[in-house]
């Protein structure tokens, strides 16, 4: 079994959850006002407020700080984060 999980960080959890519920058709489970998950057959999308990054340590997630993908590597892992207000 493959386990796939993606965590997104945003300042606007409500709007981000609403957007992903609309495009995936999955209902989000809201554990707290600052965290939600959309569980789908292919993956789990975790959406957290920027406040939640404090749980993982200082500077654990920074805007636009994702490592570049490498076309020379067959297996590349990157963490996706979205911070700030997003325009959908």
Q: What is the reported pTM? A: 0.65
Position 40 scores a pLDDT of 93
43-76 tens-digit pLDDT? 999 999 988 887 777 777 766 676 666 554 433 3
Cα separation of the two ends of the chain:
33
Query: Which residue bears the tokens 């963490």?
Result: 79
Listed by start position, the domains of the chain span 5-56
Q: Hey, what CATH class is 5-56 in?
A: alpha beta
Judge contact between 52 and 35, C-beta under 8 A.
yes
Position 50 scores a pLDDT of 87
Please tell me whether residue 71 adopts helix, strand or coil conformation.
coil
């Amino acid at each position: 079994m493959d386990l796939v999980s993606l965590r997104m960080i945003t300042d606007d959890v409500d709007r981000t959850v609403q957007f992903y519920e609309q495009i995936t058709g999955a209902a989000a489970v809201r554990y707290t006002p600052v965290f939600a998950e959309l569980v789908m057959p292919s993956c789990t999308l975790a959406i957290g407020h920027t406040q939640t990054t404090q749980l993982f340590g200082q500077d654990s997630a920074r805007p636009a700080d994702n490592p570049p993908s490498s076309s020379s590597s067959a297996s590349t892992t990157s963490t996706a984060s979205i911070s700030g207000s997003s325009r959908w």
